[in-house]
Structure 1
C-alpha cells in the first residue's frame, strides 16, 4: 500500500477515532492547555526520584544541611510498553492520564509533607542539630549529589518539546514552568525535611527505599499506601516523559536529522507513532543495567552533555543569528550559567572518580554518528536499499504518512 492508498483509507473512520476533515490537518494538534501543561511538568518531574534519590544525595554530601541545600539548588537550576501504546493512540488520553497521575502523586506528597510538619511541631528536630557537620566536601562528591538530585527533577525541560501541541505557547510555556518548577522545589525540600524528622542520616543511608521506610514509621498501619502511590508516581512520570520526549525524534525526522519515517503521523490518531515506538525502545535499553544508582549517574552524565551543547548553541546563535524571531527571550546570563554548571557536572566525576562506564556512555553517543553518516549525511546507496523497504513496511503496518495538510 503506497501513501495515496493510506490516505484513501482515512475516509473510513471508526466511530471512536478522530475524523480527518477540512478543519483537521496531518500534523500534531494543539491539545495541551495551561492546567495540562502545569500538570505535565509536575507529573513528569515527580516520579520515583524523590522517593529514591535522597539516599544517594545524602551519601555523597554526608550531612543533613548540605543535603537540603542540594535539593533546593536542583530546583533553582531546573527553573514504559503500555505507556507507549497510550501515547501512540491519543494525545488527549495521554494528557488525561497524566493529569490523573499528577493528582495521585500529589496526594502522597501532601501526606508526607503534612505528617512531617506535625512531627516537627511535636518537637522531632534532633536530626537537624549541627546539620552541616559531616565529612569534607569535594567538587566530585557535590557533582554526584547533584546527579541524583537532578534525576528527581528530570522533566523540568520537557514541556519545551511539545510547543506545537501547547495552546498559546508564548504565554503558557513560561507560565507553566514558572508555576510548576517552584511548586515541585518546595515539595521536594519539605519532603526531605519530613524524612529527616524520623530518620537519622545513618538510617536514611541504610534504607533500601526511603519513602517506604518513612511510611512504615509514620503511617502504620496505613503504610501500604506509600508503595502504591510511589508506583502511581513512577507511572505518571513515565507517561509524561514518553509524551514529551518522543517529540524529539519526531522533529529530528522532520528536519532531516534522522530517518524521515520518525516524523510520520498516524492518519487516524494524529500521533507520531514511529517516534513514540522508537522512544519506548530506547527507554527499554536504558533499564538494562538494573541498578538504579548506576542508571542515574550515567544517564545524568549523558544528558548534561547535551544540555551543555544545547545552551552553547543558544549562546552562539544569540550572536550569529541576531535576526531570528525570539518570542521567548531569556537573559544571556542564564544559558551561560547552565553551560558552566553542565561542564562541572560532566567533568568533575570523571576527574575525581574516573570509571570505565563513563567511556561507554561517550561511545554510545558517538555510535549515533555512525547511523547519521551512513543513512542521513552521505545517503549511501546500500543504506538507502535498507531504509526504503523498512519505511514502506512501517507505513503499511502503522498507517502513517508524512506530516502535511490533508488535501481538500
Structure 2
C-alpha cells in the first residue's frame, strides 16, 4: 500500500479524534443545547397540562431536577474550535436575554405586583396522563442536558470536566428557567399566557413596549445557537453509531483537514429539513419524548445489569445505583401514562418508528446484509467530501 503512494500526497489511512473542548466549551454545549426558543416562545405546554401556576412552577423545577439526575447517572463542517466558540457566543447572548426578563419580573414582584402567581395551585390537574404530558413539555425545553456525554472523546480531561460541566450547567439552567417563569407569571394572566403565540414577546409588550423588537432578535440568536449545537452533537451520534457498525460506513468518516464528521453532519441537516414538514410542534414533542424515555429506561436497565456483572471493574466516574433505579421508575411512568387514556395518534406513530427500526436492524446489522453498489457510493462520497475512517478509541495513543 505504501509503494502505491510514493511520490504522491501522503496516504491517510485513519483520522484521529482530537480533544479540543474545555470546561467553558462543555458548559456552553449543555446550557446552549437546553436554552433554545422554547422558553421564550412556547413554555405554555406545561401550564396547559398542569392546570395551575403553582403546579406549573413545581414541574419546571422537577424537570430541572430530573435533568440533573439523568445527566449524572449517564455520566459543523469547518472547525471544532470555531464551532465551540460559536456555542459560547450564542450561549452568552441567550442567557443575557433571559436575565433581562428575570430582572423585569423581579422589579414587578418588589413593587408588590404578583400577577397570576396569586392564584397558586387553583385548577391543578391530578390526571396522571396530563401530568406526564406536562413533564414531556418541560423536559423537551430542558432537552440538551445529555449532549456533552456524546462528545466525551473530544472533551479535555473528561474525568474532571464532565461532572463539573453537568453540575454547573443544570444548576444554572434550572435557576434561570424557574425565575423566567416566575417573571412571566408576575406580568401575564393564565389566559394571556396560554393564548400567546410567543410568551416572551407578550411579556415584553407590557414591560418594555418601546424595545419589544429586542425579544424576537434574542429568540433568533437563541434558536440559531441551539441549532449549531444540535448539529454538532447529532452528527457525533451518527458518527459513533456508524463506527459501531449500526449505520452506513461513510458516516463514520472524518474530514482529513478539519477533523469533522462531514457525512454525518450533512445527513443531520437533511433530516432536520424533513422534520420541519409537520406543522404541529406538540405532536413532534410527544413523539420524540416518548421514544427518548423508552430508550432511557432501557439504558438504565442495562446500566444496572452491567454494574452487577462488572462490579469489580474500576471506572473514572461511578454513581450510586439508587440514581438509575429512580430514573427507571420515572421512565416507566412517562411511557405508561399516555396509555391510561385514549391514546393520541402520535404515540402510535412513535411505536411504528420503533418497530420499523427493529425490522431494519435484523438484515443490516444482525445479518450484515450490504446493499449492492454500496462500496462504490462510499468511495465516491469519500472523494467528494475528502474524508477518511476515524481512528478507533483503542488505537489512539
User: Which ranges of 4 or more aligned residues in structure 1 deviate by more than 6 Å?
Assistant: none
**Is 2:216 aligned against 1:223?**
no
Contact 1:53/1:152 (CA < 8 Å) preserved in 2? no
- Structure 1's 245 and 225: CA in aligned 2 closer, same or farther, altered over 3 A? same
Secondary structure of 1:326 counterpart: coil
- How far does residue 216 in structure 1 lie from its aligned partner after superposition? 1.2
**Is 2:336 aligned against 1:347?**
yes
Q: Which of the residues 230, 249, 265 maps onto 1:241?
A: 230
What is the aligned partner in structure 2 of residue 117 from structure 1? 106
What is the aligned partner in structure 1 of residue 172 from structure 2? 183
- How far does residue 50 in structure 1 lie from its aligned partner after superposition? 1.0
Contact 2:115/2:187 (CA < 8 Å) preserved in 1? no
- How far does residue 136 in structure 1 lie from its aligned partner after superposition? 3.6
Question: 2 CA distance for matches of 1:356 and 1:207?
Answer: 25
- How far does residue 208 in structure 1 lie from its aligned partner after superposition? 1.2
Contact 1:53/1:149 (CA < 8 Å) preserved in 2? no
- How far does residue 404 in structure 1 lie from its aligned partner after superposition? 2.8
Q: Over aligned residue pairs, what C-alpha RMSD do you find?
A: 2.0
Q: Which of the residues 380, 385, 389 maps onto 1:393?
A: 380
Q: Which moved more, 1:357-366 or 1:31-40?
A: 357-366
**Is 2:315 aligned against 1:326?**
yes
Contact 2:287/2:349 (CA < 8 Å) preserved in 1? no
**Is 2:316 aligned against 1:316?**
no
Question: 2 CA distance for matches of 1:105 and 1:238?
Answer: 13
- TM (norm. structure 2) is 0.91
Measured against aligned partners, the alpha-carbon deviations of 1:312-353 in whole angstroms (never above 9, x if no partner) come to 211111112234432111111111111111111111012224
Measured against aligned partners, the alpha-carbon deviations of 1:72-126 in whole angstroms (never above 9, x if no partner) come to 00000001xxxxxxx1221111111111100110111110001110111111114
Question: 1 CA distance for matches of 2:158 and 2:292?
Answer: 25
- How far does residue 284 in structure 1 lie from its aligned partner after superposition? 2.5
- Structure 1's 371 and 281: CA in aligned 2 closer, same or farther, altered over 3 A? farther
Question: 2 CA distance for matches of 1:219 and 1:95?
Answer: 33
- How far does residue 234 in structure 1 lie from its aligned partner after superposition? 1.0
Tell me how many residue pairs correspond in the alignment: 381
Question: 1 CA distance for matches of 2:165 and 2:334?
Answer: 27
Unaligned runs of 5+ in 2: 69-75
Secondary structure of 2:340 counterpart: helix
Contact 2:53/2:120 (CA < 8 Å) preserved in 1? yes
**Is 2:148 aligned against 1:159?**
yes
Question: 1 CA distance for matches of 2:138 and 2:342?
Answer: 19
Measured against aligned partners, the alpha-carbon deviations of 1:37-86 in whole angstroms (never above 9, x if no partner) come to 1111111110012123421110111110000000000000001xxxxxxx
- Structure 1's 10 and 305: CA in aligned 2 closer, same or farther, altered over 3 A? farther
Measured against aligned partners, the alpha-carbon deviations of 1:354-400 in whole angstroms (never above 9, x if no partner) come to 022211112112222333323232123xx342422221211111111
What is the aligned partner in structure 2 of residue 97 from structure 1? 86
